[in-house]
Structure 1
Amino acid sequence: MLPNINLLPKEQDTKKKNLGKLIVYLLILAIIVFYGINYFLVNRDVREEERKTDVLSTQIADLQKDIAAINNTPQGVLGNSINFALTEKIDLSKVIDVAMKNTAGSAEFAGISYKNNRAEFIVYFDALNDATAYIKKLSGNELFKTVTLTSASAFTDITIDNVDKEQDLEGTSRYKAVIAVTLDKKKLQSGGGK
């Protein structure tokens, strides 16, 4: 009797086992490559963040030195600052006196605002001719470098007696003029303004 030898199924089993092992090895290799790439990317990011942290630490140290130097400044610097502020102050009472003194007739000085070397006057007039005359008077004063009419608008005074009545801008209107002036600081500090 001849023995029953079946070689074919054994070869198929080894091929299946080899293919399975190959797939497992490729998966393991892919996982290793994936984690290796991530390790290098994360490592690079960590080094970059450490470098940024070092730069920020250096900046903090420099700023703390600057703060310490500012806190330790001698009082002479503060005194110089106060003296400078005292020499730069401007007495606006002269400006207000000139603005009020030049109002004539129906003109009514309503207010002033000041910023840097510019002042704005608000003046009420019965006629625009009065506003023009007022601006000419201010232009002739040595305290002002420039005098310009910023805006002029008509309005009607409303009182308790005429609140119900229809307002007539032609007959009883007044004018609000906003006049901008540039101040001459040297003249103000030296006592100018007549």
Structure 2
Amino acid sequence: MIPDINLIPKLEKSQQGSKFLYILLGIITLLALTLLIWQYFTAWVEIVELQREESNLIAQRDQLNIDLATLQPGNEGSLEQSLQFVEMVSYPISPLINEIQGLQPSNSYLRNYTFSPESVSISIDFETLSDVSTYVSRLSNSSYFIDGQVLSITSSGLGEELGTDDETDFDVIPRQSVEITLLINETYLATGGVQ
């Protein structure tokens, strides 16, 4: 029989290297798992906090909607609208009405006027177009108003107003209905009509 003689030395270094590699791989795996578990619990805590904050914000939104609904009445009356307008407009109205009526030519009729914070809209009937141009030029020269704009001019005869337009009557001169918007000179009005 041939004796079994092994002259090649055993390689234990390679086993130690592979053990070191397995230990290093195990440590890296444990660190990765630890990091993932830490991120999971951190994200879970943040989700719980965000859900709590979301429920608080929803409750605040609902409360603000309820408050807004109580503050916005839907056309409850002209008294409240009048009070809001009076609080919004901070200029005297009487001098403006006096100026508008004082500059009117004879045989003209002030039908309607509405005020806004910066302007006055008026509706006036005139007999002729020359009366319209005279009135507009008087308004543009007035110190109470910065600018005036004629929005519309419509003519209506006596028969049209009564609803009987049987035939054209050349003896009736149609009246001119004019819509004018005037921008208020607030500094002149605030000083009481004195420059």
Give the TM-score, by structure 2 length: 0.53
Q: Give the deviation of 1:54 after TM superposition.
A: 2.8
Unaligned runs of 5+ in 1: 1-48, 67-84
1:38 aligned residue: none
Identity of aligned residues (%): 17
CA pair 131-60 structure 1, distance change in 2 beyond 3 A: same
Distance 2:150 2:186 in 1: 21
Secondary structure, in 3 states, of the residue corresponding to 2:106?
coil
Provide Cα deviations, 1:67-104, integer angstroms capped at 9, x if missing partner.
xxxxxxxxxxxxxxxxxx87962111111111111111
Unaligned runs of 5+ in 2: 1-46, 65-85
CA pair 133-187 structure 1, distance change in 2 beyond 3 A: same
Equivalent residues of 1:118, 1:182 under 8 A apart? yes
1:187 aligned residue: 188
1:176 aligned residue: 177
Equivalent residues of 1:147, 1:180 under 8 A apart? yes
Distance 1:116 1:140 in 2: 21
Within 5 Å, which residues of 2 pair with 1:10-29?
A: none
2:127 aligned residue: 126
Distance 2:108 2:161 in 1: 23
Q: Give the deviation of 1:181 after TM superposition.
A: 0.4
1:94 aligned residue: 95
1:145 aligned residue: 146
Q: Give the deviation of 1:145 after TM superposition.
A: 0.6
CA pair 54-139 structure 1, distance change in 2 beyond 3 A: same
Equivalent residues of 2:89, 2:117 under 8 A apart? no
Secondary structure, in 3 states, of the residue corresponding to 1:113?
strand
Q: Give the deviation of 1:184 after TM superposition.
A: 1.3
Equivalent residues of 1:122, 1:176 under 8 A apart? yes
How many pairs align? Answer: 129
Provide Cα deviations, 1:113-170, integer angstroms capped at 9, x if missing partner.
1112011111101111100000000111111010111110111234998847435488
CA pair 109-65 structure 1, distance change in 2 beyond 3 A: closer
Equivalent residues of 1:154, 1:169 under 8 A apart? no
Equivalent residues of 1:156, 1:172 under 8 A apart? yes
1:57 aligned residue: 55
Within 5 Å, which residues of 2 pair with 1:64-75?
A: none
1:156 aligned residue: 157
Q: Give the deviation of 1:180 after TM superposition.
A: 0.8
Equivalent residues of 1:155, 1:169 under 8 A apart? no
Amino acid at match of 2:138: K
Distance 1:145 1:161 in 2: 38
CA pair 157-54 structure 1, distance change in 2 beyond 3 A: farther
Q: Give the deviation of 1:183 after TM superposition.
A: 0.5
Secondary structure, in 3 states, of the residue corresponding to 1:111?
strand
Secondary structure, in 3 states, of the residue corresponding to 1:130?
helix
Q: Give the deviation of 1:188 after TM superposition.
A: 1.6
Give the TM-score, by structure 1 length: 0.53
